[in-house]
Amino acid sequence: MTTHYRPEVDGLRAVAVIPVIFFHAGFDTFSGGYVGVDIFFVISGYLITGIIYNEIVEKKFSIVNFYERRARRILPALFFVSIICMAVAWVWMLPEEFASLSKSLIAVNLFVSNIHFWQDMDYFAGPAEMKPFLHTWSLAVEEQFYLFFPLFMLLAGWLRKGLLMGILLLGFLASLALSEYGSTHHPSANFYLLPTRAWELLAGSIVAVYLHRHKSQPPAWLGNLAGLFGLALLLYAIFVFDQSVPFPGLWALVPVLGTVLIILFAGERDIAGRLLSFKPMVGIGLISYSAYLWHQPVFAFARERSMGPISDVDFILLSILSLLLAWFSWRYVELPFRNRLNFTRPQIFKSALVMSCLMIGVGLYGSHSQGIPWRFDEEVESLAMVRSQKHINSENCQSTPGNLRPLDAICVYNESGERTVVVWGDSQATPLVGPIAERVDALGMQVKQFVYTNCLPIAGYTRSDDPLCGRHNEQVLEYVLEDASVELVVMLGRYPLQFEGLAFNNGEGGIEHDEAVRAVPMDRLDMANNPLRVEEVGRLLQETVNRMIEAGKRVVLIYPVPEVGWDVPYLLSKERLYGIERFSPLSTSYEVFKQRTSSSYEQFSRIGEHDNLLKVEPASLFCNTYIPSRCAAQIEDEILYYDNNHLSVTGASMLVSQIFVKMRRKGWMSEEEHKLSMLSDDSAVSVMQQR
């Protein structure tokens, strides 16, 4: 590798960063824009390995010098952006988001944010767009790689060039094979973690070693052809790939190979090299690191501040703002700190240590204080806290995709009770557990919580993307049928989400970003797009209910809870925080609810009436009651949801009160038992009496 400046490599940086920015802005045209990170990895491996290998060959390499260069290159701009982010978050972010941001700030400064976000969320999930530090996962991957790679080069750099390239190639192939396996078996870990990303950096490393003092020049026609083919591969990945591509894995070879070809063949004399050396491209490439740092926080805080959807024009303006901020931080932060005349090595290391400790300290305080809620007035704080008042710690009591909890490890309440109530459903059923447990405690009944996230309580069915859901339901039904202590089963799930296969849009600006999956029979996973799918799953629901009632179990079958679309306490808190006056309680269209749930109601109607079956419609409580033709999300100062579709403590208590009233009318409870059960639920009764 020669040490002369290559403007086409800076132009290649621009090709990497622009698609990433437009992808995070949500432009569908750049559906594969996330591959910009893969381009960056190859460039990084090429440039840094080239420097290390050249210094090793010339016997000038120093680990201390290497990490000094990394600190000067990475840390000043990262600290600067982090400080601005925390200042903006202090003013705009509610406690839950601020606590989450604080945790990620700790991870950023320990360079483990890739591990943090791997455990926290899917990179492509809707909520990810609200995470200002999400993009730092790639910085963590690089720094983890460069924690070990220089030491490896110190040990192996003296080897014959061909042998060294062979060792690097073995590492490349091993990591690529692991990545291909992970793309289908462990997609989230595969996306975020170093072992399945190292091959992309090693691709650049192999090129750097190969080009070191390489004198041969390819024919002009070959350089032109290879460089243009490399550009074509990059453009194909950027504009054709989307979130459905298993990534990274063999598909990632497309942008990686394209980058390698450009580095190998593009130059000042060929078409690709001249295109990439175009001054605006080089200019964006020079500020690409700062642009990468700025764009995600700019978008996340814009979404945080906006009370509605952001237009494409606004996102273009925000993208331009990201580039302007990038130029500023490049000119006044990056360049000064890279200059050894301005800051000495001890100053760089000491200031980096102090700033990292300060950032970690701020992160710890923000996290452990639960987002510093005292930043806001009492009303905003009270509204925001509804989001954390869920009655039951669902995270420790329910199964999730990839984490199927054994039935004997689930949460049990009122353990001394000899009779059993089973609450069976997805996460919408979780808020009911606490109010039910409180009511039946005086009746000598225990409550068992059989909840699996986004998994409807239907035996013989599963989520189209998760067979474990079906296995969970089979186990629950078997337990209910065989355990003689089970007297009552309460079933609730978010049926419209999986029957329709679409996230909810209330038609008034409340658009959810929940992952929409489809309900399918366990033995017919290929029915995801079959028009008879919902009818077949409805038949399985009917069979599930009939088997339980025929076994002598009493079943409370709850129809769909009205979805909201907005995160209710979040929206109301933000309105209060920004001084937006609300003239009527928050609500959604009853007509939209009826359209959304028509398939669910049709399937429920096919389940015949029975003495052991009680059907309960939450819509009869929340819709067209408090507000004509509307479904209430709040009643005066009482908030009925803790997010966009899960009932709050108040909302769940109201629904449970309605269930017990209907159970009394059906003759399942004596008057005395009903009175005993009501003693623990005065709050719900008082709200009900407002009707």
- Interval 610-632: pLDDT, tens: 999 999 999 999 999 999 999 99
Res 288: pLDDT: 97
Res 561: pLDDT: 97
Rounded CA-CA distance 161/155 in Å is 13
Burial code (b: 16+ CB inside 10 Å, e: under 16) for 176-186 equals bebbbebbeee
CB atoms within 10 A of CB 394: 19
Tokens representing 465 are 């993307």
Q: Which amino acid is at 73?
A: R
Nearest alpha carbon to residue 47 among 80, 77, 8:
8
Q: Which amino acid is at 440?
A: V
Q: Which amino acid is at 559?
A: Y
Res 377: pLDDT: 87
Specify the length of the chain in residues.
691
Q: Are 616 and 557 in contact (CB under 8 A)?
A: yes
Res 409: pLDDT: 82
Q: Domain-by-domain residue ranges, the chain? A: 7-368, 394-688
Flag residues of the chain having pLDDT under 70.
Answer: 1-3, 122, 124-127, 215-216, 390-395, 514-515, 677, 679-691
Rounded CA-CA distance 256/248 in Å is 10
Q: Is the dihedral of CA 240, 245, 250, 255 positive or negative?
A: positive
Nearest alpha carbon to residue 89 among 102, 73, 107:
102
* Helical residues (DSSP H) of 330-377, grouped into ranges: 335-338, 345-368
Show Cβ contacts of residue 564 under 8 Å, excluding neighbours closer than 6 positions: 504, 506, 510, 586, 588, 631, 633, 641, 644, 645
Res 670: pLDDT: 81
Q: In the chain, what is the greatest distance between 2 CA atoms, to the nearest angstrom?
A: 95
Show Cβ contacts of residue 53 under 8 Å, excluding neighbours closer than 6 positions: 1, 153, 157, 208, 209, 212
Rounded CA-CA distance 200/16 in Å is 14
- The two beta strands, 486-492 and 554-558, are parallel
Q: Which amino acid is at 341?
A: L
Tokens representing 24 are 């995070």
**SS3 (DSSP) at 323:** helix
**Global confidence as pTM:** 0.84
Q: What is the separation of C-alpha 450 from the centre of its chain, rounded to a whole number of angstroms?
A: 24
> Regarding the domain delimited by 394-688, which CATH topology (the fold level of the hierarchy) does it fall under?
Rossmann fold (3.40.50)
Res 411: pLDDT: 87
Nearest alpha carbon to residue 440 among 689, 642, 133, 660:
660
Report which DSSP code applies to 133. Answer: T
Q: Are 311 and 35 in contact (CB under 8 A)?
A: no
Nearest alpha carbon to residue 170 among 139, 213, 205:
205
Res 690: pLDDT: 44
Res 1: pLDDT: 46
Show Cβ contacts of residue 447 under 8 Å, excluding neighbours closer than 6 positions: 412, 413, 414, 417, 420, 421, 422, 423, 433, 436, 437, 440
Res 387: pLDDT: 81
Res 652: pLDDT: 94
Show Cβ contacts of residue 639 under 8 Å, excluding neighbours closer than 6 positions: 383, 386, 568, 569, 572, 633, 648, 650, 651
Distance linking the first and last C-alpha atoms of the chain: 78
Q: Which amino acid is at 619?
A: A
- Residue for token pair 């507000």: 627
Rounded CA-CA distance 600/603 in Å is 5
Burial code (b: 16+ CB inside 10 Å, e: under 16) for 83-118 equals ebbbebbeeebbbbbbbbbbbbbbbbbbbbbbbbbb
Q: Work out the burial of residue 289: count CB atoms within 10 Å of its CB; fewer than 13 is exposed, 13-18 middle, 19 or more buried.
A: buried
Q: Which amino acid is at 457?
A: P
Rounded CA-CA distance 128/141 in Å is 18
Q: Calculate ∠ Cα 148-154-156, nearest 5°.
A: 95
Tokens representing 528 are 């995801």
Show Cβ contacts of residue 188 under 8 Å, excluding neighbours closer than 6 positions: 118, 122, 123
- The two beta strands, 613-616 and 554-558, are parallel
Dihedral of the alpha carbons of 174, 179, 185, 187, in degrees to the nearest 10: 160
